């Protein structure tokens, strides 16, 4: 058998523990696939006394520098998270001549250009399959299997925690905060779960996918994002009544030379394949000019599904494939396709609007007038006589529009918010039909 591939794990938490579990429980399988044994030499953590059922105690330390410097180590696997120390770990590892594997989407979305330039300079590679959609091999699919296509659209459920919360609220009537606590307990959420529920984690992942699919570097703070933190159970009920469900979607599509992209809760018809993706599962629908529409689905978070992708990257390095494909991909480098980001205001969509209004004559007419003034046509209206959402004399009024320009619709909503008899803010979501 050939010389082993030695790795240091920086991080022995949810994902690090999963990677150790796969590598230590199945050494023969891994060695066969990799053509050589894969050995974990070191695992670096913050607290060496924490119980870690899948990691032998003698591997554990708190010494990051030693784990990077160790001359026997070929690959540093960064699974600590964050964008400060983690960035330093990655850059130091590349400078020390180590290949890097990471699941850290925030790091790549924010510092991709610097990290990939350093990797090219040191002739090392960065594997990041686990950074988007957990166990789904979407990075390889886009970068390798679909390389003959021009991708024209990507639509994905990319955050397992949000999808878990939305499913728990819609299917089991669980409250938002209980569902989030459950997702944290199951190891799906980020160390700071705000990133999950405010759309930032999905935006990080979308920035990575857009880089691969369109060669566009979008500064992550320029990706418009709306999360699920403000989502009210009554909106899920109204959506359901109209034949829809609400999903947090990350979307990017090509329009001429422009790429429009955003992260937002969107109403999807309940028969849509993405609408049926439940719990912490992720799904990515891709349209390519040769392949047509193709859909990937699987566990998007959690120890073993994420570790499955990390281990695939490690095996690719052991075999020697990763080094070649990494150099060929030229990610976060000047590109020739010439696509640029498109502002969201001009995007046309249908909208769901829910506004709390006083139950008195003329309110519906006032709201409809503002929409009409912006040239926005109403498709349907719901106002129930007696429902649990009624708060004294205030009732929810739900309006579905026909297609309208986002900018016009948003300016109509801000006018509606200032109408007498309206309790602001009106809540609105795009509708994908």
Of 98, 105, 205, 415, which is the active-site residue? 205
Residue in this structure with the two tokens 């949000």, named with its chain if needed: 162
Buried b (16+ CB within 10 A) or exposed e, 228-240: beebeebbbbbbe
Q: To the nearest 10°, the Cα dihedral for 87, 89, 95, 97? A: -130
Q: Look at residue 196 and give the partner it binds from ligand HSE, ligand NAP, none, a contact being a CB closer than 5 to 8 Å depending on partner kind.
A: ligand HSE
Interaction between residue 130 and ligand NAP (CB under 6 A):
yes
Phi, psi (5° rounding) for residue 403? -60, 140
Q: Least distance to ligand NAP from the beta carbon of 93, Å?
A: 14
Contacts 24+ apart (CB under 8 A), 324-330: 325/125, 325/143, 325/144, 326/119, 326/125, 326/126, 326/127, 327/120, 327/123, 327/125, 329/143, 329/212
Q: For ligand HSE, how many residues bind (rule: CB under 6 A)?
A: 11
Dihedrals φ, ψ of 68, to 5°?
-80, -40
Question: Closest distance between ligand NAP and the C-beta of residue 136, in Å?
Answer: 11
From the list ligand HSE, ligand NAP, none, which binds 159 (C-beta under 5 to 8 Å, kind-based)?
Answer: ligand HSE
| Position 45 contacts ligand NAP (CB under 6 A) | yes
Q: x-or-dash pattern for ligand NAP, window 11-40, by CB under 6 A?
A: xxxxxx------------------------
For residue 109 the two structure tokens come to: 């979305």
One of 18, 37, 81, 134 touching ligand HSE (CB under 6 A) = 134
Is residue 290 packed enough to be buried (19+ CB in 10 Å), middle (13-18) or exposed (0-12)?
Answer: exposed
Q: Which of 78, 110, 129, 196 binds ligand HSE (CB under 6 A)?
A: 196
Distance CA 357, CA 360 (A): 8
Question: Is 146 a residue that touches ligand NAP (CB under 6 A)?
Answer: no
**Cα–Cα distance between 33 and 28 in angstroms, integer?**
9
In whole angstroms, what is the distance from residue 402 CA to residue 404 CA? 6
In this chain, which stretch among 42-50, 141-149, 184-192, 369-377 interacts with ligand HSE, using CB under 6 A?
184-192
Least Cβ distance, residue 52 to ligand HSE (angstroms):
19
Cβ closest to ligand NAP, residue 18 vs residue 215: 18
Q: How far is the CB of 160 from ligand HSE (least distance, A)?
A: 4
Assess 57 for contact with ligand NAP (CB under 6 A).
Answer: no
Contact present, 42 and 68 (Cβ < 8 Å): no
Residue 196 or 235 with smaller CB distance to ligand HSE: 196
Residue 308 as a binder of ligand NAP (CB under 6 A): the answer is: no
| The two structure tokens encoding residue 221 | 């703070």
**What's the min distance (Å) between Cβ of 368 and ligand NAP?**
45
Instruction: Examine residue 190 and tell whether it contacts ligand HSE (CB under 6 A).
Output: yes
205 is catalytic: yes
What DSSP assignment string belongs to 244-285?
Answer: EEEEEEEEEEEETTEEEEEEEEEEEETTSTGGG--TTEEEEE
Measured from the CB of residue 183, what is the shortest distance to ligand NAP in angstroms? 10
List CB contacts of 56: < 8 A, sequence separation 6 or more: 24
What residues from 275 to 304 belong to the interface with ligand NAP (CB under 6 A)? Answer: 301-302
From the list 95, 76, 103, the residue with the least C-alpha distance to 13 is 103
Q: Which residues bind ligand HSE (CB under 6 A)?
A: 134, 159-161, 188-190, 196, 201, 300-301
Residues carrying an active site annotation: 205
Residues lying near ligand NAP in the complex (CB under 6 A): 11-16, 44-47, 50, 79-81, 85, 103-104, 130, 134, 187-188, 190-191, 301-302, 306
């Amino acid at each position: 058998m050939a010389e082993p591939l030695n790795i240091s794990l920086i991080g022995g938490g949810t994902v690090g523990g999963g990677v150790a579990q796969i590598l230590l429980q199945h050494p023969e399988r891994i060695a066969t696939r990799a053509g050589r044994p894969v050995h974990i030499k070191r695992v670096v953590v913050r607290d060496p006394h924490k119980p870690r059922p899948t990691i032998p105690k003698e591997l554990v330390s708190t010494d990051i520098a030693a784990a990077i410097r160790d001359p026997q180590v070929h690959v540093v696997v960064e699974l600590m998270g964050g964008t400060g120390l983690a960035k330093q770990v990655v850059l130091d590892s590349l400078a020390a001549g180590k290949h890097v594997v990471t699941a850290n989407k925030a790091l790549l979305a924010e510092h991709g250009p610097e990290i990939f330039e350093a990797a090219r300079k040191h002739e090392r590679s960065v594997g990041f399959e686990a950074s988007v959609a957990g166990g789904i091999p979407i990075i390889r699919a886009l970068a390798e299997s679909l390389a003959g296509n021009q991708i024209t659209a990507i639509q994905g459920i990319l955050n397992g925690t949000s999808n878990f919360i939305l499913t728990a609220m819609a299917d089991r009537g669980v409250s938002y905060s209980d569902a989030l606590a459950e997702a944290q307990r199951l190891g799906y959420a980020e160390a700071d779960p705000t990133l999950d529920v405010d759309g930032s984690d999905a935006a990080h992942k979308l920035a990575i996918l857009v880089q691969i699919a369109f060669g566009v570097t979008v500064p992550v703070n320029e990706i418009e994002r709306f999360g699920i933190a403000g989502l009210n159970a009554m909106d899920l009920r109204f959506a359901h009544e109209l034949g829809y469900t609400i999903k947090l979607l990350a979307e990017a599509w090509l329009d001429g030379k422009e790429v429009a992209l955003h992260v937002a809760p969107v109403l999807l018809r309940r028969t849509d394949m993405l609408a049926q993706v439940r719990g912490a599962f992720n799904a990515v629908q891709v349209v390519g000019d040769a392949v047509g529409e193709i859909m990937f689905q699987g566990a998007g978070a959690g120890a073993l599904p994420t570790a499955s992708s990390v281990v695939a990257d490690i095996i690719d390095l052991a075999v020697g494939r990763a080094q070649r494909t990494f150099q060929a991909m030229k990610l976060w480098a000047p590109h020739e396709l010439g696509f640029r980001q498109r502002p969201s205001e001009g995007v046309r969509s249908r909208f769901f609007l829910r506004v709390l209004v006083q139950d008195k004559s003329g309110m519906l007419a006032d709201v409809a007038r503002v929409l009409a003034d912006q040239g926005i046509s109403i498709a349907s209206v719901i106002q129930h006589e007696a429902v649990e959402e009624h708060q004294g004399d205030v009732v929810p009024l739900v309006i579905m529009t026909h297609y309208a320009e986002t900018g016009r619709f948003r300016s109509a909503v801000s006018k509606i918010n200032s109408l007498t008899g309206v309790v602001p803010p009106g809540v609105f979501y795009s509708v994908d039909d």
